[in-house]
Amino acid sequence: MSSSGSPDLPAGQPRTGQPGSEAGGLLRDIGWSRVPPPSYSQLLKQLRQGSVKELVLAPGQRQLSVTYTDGRRVNVPVFSNDQLLLRTAQESRVPLTVRDERQDQATASLVSNGLLLLLLFGGLALLIRRSAQVANRAMGFGRSKARMVQPEAAVPVRFEDVAGIQEAKEELQEVVTFLKQPERFTAVGAKIPRGVLLVGPPGTGKTLLAKAIAGEAGVPFFSLSGSEFVEMFVGVGASRVRDLFRQAKEKAPCIVFIDEIDAVGRQRGAGIGGGNDEREQTLNQLLTEMDGFADNSGVILLAATNRPDVLDAALMRPGRFDRRIHVDLPDRKGREAILAVHARSRPLSPEVCLADWASRTPGFSGADLANLLNEAAILTARRDSTCIDEQAMGDALERITMGLTAAPLQDSAKKRLIAYHEIGHALLTTLVPAADRLDKVTLLPRAGGVGGFARTMPDEEVLDSGLISKAYLQARMVVAMGGRAAELVVFGPSEITQGASSDLELVSRISREMVTRYGFSPLGPVSLEAEGSEVFLGRDWLRSEPHYSRETGNRIDAQVQQQARLALDTAVALLQPRRELLDELVTLLIEQETIEGPAFTAVVERFEQQGAAQPNRMSRLRR
């Protein structure tokens, strides 16, 4: 019975009891097995007969590889968990190996699993890092967040980028010189100020100036905003200050810049509900650190604020921020220079005269002017034009000062009423000698409910000197009443509208200030209310009682009302005899939608000259 077995099976004979096609496929696949496999029962028989040398089972593939004693090998399909076969093999002592055929799969799955693991761990690590950062921020108390700018790391701003604030620039130039050549100062025994406070309205270039110093001086520059000191955890601010100064001392000579210092430097003891302990601690730490400097240690503290009035007095003491530099709104020359700085990077059409625009933008800050040119550039880009022209500048100015244009009014009755209202303002501007100059009057509505507007331009001289006369304020009140007055004259007392509400607000404010602050009233030269007293809300809240008696209070109110009424009466008196002129101007405005100042004045002047022929009318006009 030795080498009988399967060879007695004719090739190609159908096998029974097994999935034939599968076996055929396997046969084709496995090149080394040319022998047709035995049937299942044959195999069992062969096993018992002892003609099989070895069995290798691959359960997953349901395949049994049979090696005969004569060396032939075949594959036989089997059930994956064939107990009969196993028992038979065991009984006949044929060695049976179970092949772990998952190995191939395993390598594949190992790779993919590995990738998955990697991803998981990566993600986990990221999460841990994140939360560590968060924890750091919250718990790693007070590492200074100051951004240090090394001298090599170029701060792109230079002094030449700052225009129109010459004095401030010169003073700061001195600081730069000190940082670069301290010997020049120490040789003659000069002490350099430790703290320089930049004071001025928002947008005048304080932050820009500080950056310019960093750019010029070429020393390390630490900058931190005041609000960054004040955090939700008590003590963080103080330790931040410590940390900042420690770093600064290591890097001396250097500049430490604290922007918006009023966030930390507010008067202590102010603030509702017992004050802000955290802020006070921070401020105390700041004061302590400033005292800790030796003279000429090379660290210069620079700070900026637009609220010097709220700063704690201890901050301003000699040895601390003992030098103040005022950064004011630019004058006309300054505005031109600032416009020129910002025009450097923008293609201006040659017709644009910056001096002209400087005189058309009184009261604008450096930031406003930068914004003006930027708006103009945006409009230019939108129009697919290549250089900024007068038109774009004009539209940009309009947009900044009046807001976006809305669709023109259709309703003609409403339009007429608005036209009379605005013409009322405009006409009074030209009639009252002390009033501002009329820039333009328009019926083009603006987003936000403004139906039209008459825009005036403040007198440059008034603006620059900062001195305001009683006559000027009275004139402003009369002009502000112009809208209501025109409605009264034309439509009668029952047809007046609420459109004048903001005018009335302005009048009331001016009137009250005249009485309580400037001594412009029969109440006499007394100051009854201080400016900006609401700043120390916490401190002054308790002291809500006014400085004056109730009787004085009544007189103030009566006086405010009387002045407002007088302004309205004056406005009506000026408009009433000029009803024809009002009608003429309204027709013109509805037709043209916008009348420029000079054209408007020309119409008024022509009318007045005709009127001069009728003396009785003229006498009523003169105030």
Q: Which residues are catalytic?
A: 422
Q: Say if CB 313 and CB 155 are below 8 A apart.
A: no
Question: Closest CB to ligand ADP among 167 and 569?
Answer: 167
Nearest to 298 by CA among 455, 181, 453: 181
d(CA 575, CA 421) in angstroms, rounded, equals 11
The option from Zn ion, ligand ADP, Mg ion, none interacting with 341 (CB < 5 to 8 A, set by class) reads ligand ADP
Stretch that binds ligand ADP, among 69-77, 176-184, 362-370, 467-475 (CB under 6 A): 362-370
Does residue number 585 form part of the binding site for ligand ADP (CB under 6 A)? no
Segment lying near ligand ADP (by CB under 6 A), choices 123-131, 201-209, 346-354, 496-504 = 201-209
199 interacts with, out of ligand ADP, Mg ion, Zn ion, none, CB within 5 to 8 A per kind: none
Q: Is 503 in the site for Zn ion (CB under 5 A)?
A: yes
Q: Does 452 bind Zn ion (CB under 5 A)?
A: no
**Greatest CA separation for the chain:** 153
Is 246 or 346 the residue whose CB approaches ligand ADP more closely? 346
What values do phi and psi take at 76, rounded to 5?
A: -120, 130
Q: How far apart are CA 414 and CA 443, in angstroms?
A: 11
The piece of 32-40, 138-146, 365-373, 501-509 that touches ligand ADP (CB under 6 A) is 365-373
Candidates 5, 36, 308, 366; binder of ligand ADP (CB under 6 A) is 366
CA distances from 222 to 261, 326, 579, 588 (A): 14, 22, 66, 60
Q: According to the binding rule CB under 6 A, does residue 226 interact with ligand ADP? A: no
Options 165, 212, 217, 254; binder of ligand ADP; rule CB under 6 A: 165
Q: Are 30 and 61 in contact (CB under 8 A)?
A: no
Task: Determine the size of the site formed for Zn ion (CB under 5 A).
Answer: 2
Give the Cα separation of 217 and 149 in Å (integer). Answer: 12
Collapsing DSSP to helix, strand or coil, 100 comes out as: coil
Considering only the stretches 121-129, 179-187, 312-320, 502-510, report the one whose residues sit in contact with Zn ion under the rule CB under 5 A: 502-510
Comparison of 200 and 483: residue with beta carbon closer to ligand ADP: 200
Long-range contacts, stretch 520-527, CB < 8 angstroms, 24+ apart: 520/470, 520/473, 521/559, 521/563, 522/559, 523/552, 523/555, 523/556, 523/559
Least CB distance to Zn ion at residue 471 (A): 21
- Look at residues 455, 431, 435 and name the one whose alpha carbon lies nearest to residue 573: 431
Q: Is 205 in the site for ligand ADP (CB under 6 A)?
A: yes
Q: Which C-beta is closer to Zn ion: that of 37 or that of 499?
A: 499
Taking the complex as a whole, the smallest distance from the CB of residue 506 to Zn ion amounts, in Å, to: 9
Whole-Å CA distances, 336 to 166, 365, 387? 13, 12, 19
Determine which residue in the list 163, 224, 379, 423 makes contact with ligand ADP, applying CB under 6 A: 163
Nearer to Zn ion by Cβ, of 389 and 503: the residue is 503
Residues β-bridged to residue 595: 441
Instruction: Examine residue 201 and say whether the peptide bond preceding it is cis (omega within 30 degrees of 0).
Output: no
Which of these segments, 162-170, 221-229, 465-473, 595-603, binds ligand ADP (CB under 6 A)?
Answer: 162-170
Residue 507 has what DSSP assignment? Answer: H
Q: Which of 36, 203, 362, 451 contacts ligand ADP by CB under 6 A?
A: 203
Nearer to Mg ion, 205 or 237 (CB): 205
The sign of the CA dihedral 60, 61, 66, 71 is: negative
Residue 155 sits in the site that holds ligand ADP (CB under 6 A): no
Which spans of this chain sit near Mg ion (rule: CB under 5 A)?
207
Q: Work out whether 400 is an interface residue with ligand ADP (CB under 6 A).
A: no
The residue with its CB nearest to Zn ion is 483
- We find the least distance from the C-beta atom of residue 457 to ligand ADP, in angstroms, to be 22
Separation between Cα atoms, residue 141 and residue 240, nearest integer Å? 8
Question: How far, in Å, CA of 8 to CA of 126, rounded?
Answer: 68
Cis peptide before 59 (omega within 30 of 0): no
**Segments in 346-434 forming alpha helices (H):** 354-359, 366-382, 390-402, 412-431
**Site membership for Zn ion, residue 362 (CB under 5 A):** no
Round to whole Å and give the CA distance between 596 and 607.
Answer: 17
Binder among 252, 310, 367, 444 for ligand ADP (CB under 6 A) = 367
Half-sphere exposure of 8 (CA within 13 A, CB side): 8
Which amino acid would we find at residue 157? V
Residue 165 interacting partner from ligand ADP, Mg ion, Zn ion, none (CB closer than 5 to 8 Å by kind): ligand ADP
Work out which of 436, 483, 510, 556 binds Zn ion, going by CB under 5 A.
483
Tell me whether residue 206 or residue 399 sits nearer to ligand ADP (CB atom).
Answer: 206
The nearer residue to Zn ion, 316 or 496, going by C-beta atoms, is 496
By rule CB under 6 A, what count of residues binds ligand ADP?
18
Q: Tell me which residues touch ligand ADP (CB under 6 A).
A: 162-165, 200, 202-208, 304, 338, 341, 366-367, 370
